[in-house]
Amino acid sequence: MDTADKLLIRALSGETLETPPVWMMRQAGRYLPEYRETRAKAGDFLKLCYNPELATEVTLQPIRRYGFDAAILFADILLIPQALGADLWFVTGEGPRLSTITSKADFNKLSDADDVHETLSPIYQTVRNLREALPPETALIGFAGAPWTVATYMIAGRGTPDQAPALALMNEKPAVFDALIELITEATIQYLVEQIKAGAEVVKIFDSWAGVLSGFQFAKYATRPTARIVSVLREEYPHVKIIGFPRGTSNEGILNYTKTTEIDAVAIGADVDADWAVENLQSITCVQGNLDQSLLVSGGEKLVSETKRIKAAFAGGPHIFNLGHGITPDADPDNVSRMVDALRS
């Protein structure tokens, strides 16, 4: 099947479909018993990311089980910092930890943006493997973290509730902060280009912590770097579609981000009103979202009715059905089947 004929690509090209394509953020994850078995075989999370054979396997698992219209590369947004020279490890039950960037001296220890490929070469091999292994109708999504979100982890050394360490560096040492954002932006471009060369048909840019930025900060550190990434990718690979996810920001911020970056689709959280999104976003781009991920834990009739409500709300324009955020480890795999059945019935 030609890429242009795949349901996800048709929606990203602006086509209104009777049944929207469906996939889930974090669809390869701990809620699936087969994922847990494969992760145990790998040894730990990072070893799984860097093992092309096993990373390919966990990417394919939800495709086999649910027949999603897209597979998303199994990796992590923090592989870029590691490729740039930061120390990275994961603490069980707590999440990622990194060496911190809090001064010019720390920044000067990092590698150049074009030096990331040796570390990331196993990820590119996973993309090549997937392109060979996926069903012909299934689109392949590559991804990266947005520069602001990646920077927050590199500065604090971990996730924090309000990203105060990153905001402090932004205000107190703006030259260091700006240099870090620029470095991550260029490394992200390099990373996504290689994913595209390896076979990714769509790329998604996750700005998971965009919501903590104020108006001018959001414009400078969320919208502007993403716009640069989109511009470079589109110039080199005009056929590749790009999804942006400025999580947690205001409606006005989402709208300005969508217009400025010129992405092919904007992903929205479960807190964004569907009627507002239809009127303001779907008129200019494809919209992705936005089922509350907690419904895949609780299930029941509410899951079915909300799935059908979202499908109906966005039925008048290009839409990709997805969650408002990633599926959680306590989700019931059977509830995912109910969601897909309700959407496609």
Catalytic residues: 26, 30, 39, 76, 153
**Other CB atoms closer than 10 Å to residue 104's CB: what's the count?**
11
Residue 326 banded pLDDT, cuts 50, 70, 90: very high
Residue 247's domain comprises: 3-344
* Contact between 207 and 135 (Cβ < 8 Å): no
DSSP 318-339: -EEB-BSSPPPTT--HHHHHHH
Q: How far is CA 15 from CA 23, 145, 287, 316, in A?
A: 17, 27, 11, 10
Query: Which residues does residue 143 pair with via DSSP β-bridges, in sequence order?
Result: 204
Rounded to whole angstroms, the Cα distance separating 224 from 231 reads 10
Residue 22 DSSP label? B
Number of Cα atoms under 13 Å in the Cβ half of residue 212: 17
DSSP state of 173: -
Q: pLDDT by residue (tens digit) across 223-275?
A: 999 999 999 999 999 999 999 999 999 999 999 999 999 999 999 999 999 99
Query: Is cis: bond before 290, omega within 30 of 0?
Result: yes
Predicted confidence (pLDDT) per residue in 102-118, tens digit: 999 999 999 999 999 99
CATH assignment of the domain containing 63: 3.20.20.210
Please give the pLDDT value at position 19: 98
Residue 109: how many CB atoms within 10 A of its CB?
12
Q: pLDDT tens-digit profile of 30-55?
A: 999 999 999 999 999 999 999 999 99
pTM of the entire predicted model? 0.97
Tokens 């992903």 belong to residue = 267
Render 30-56 in DSSP notation, one character per residue. TTSHHHHHHHHHHSSHHHHHT-HHHHH
* Residue 92 pLDDT class (50, 70, 90 cuts): confident
Task: Please give the Cα distance from 196 to 138 (Å, whole number).
Answer: 16
Domains in the chain, number:
1
Angle 324-329-335 from CA coordinates, rounded to 5°: 70
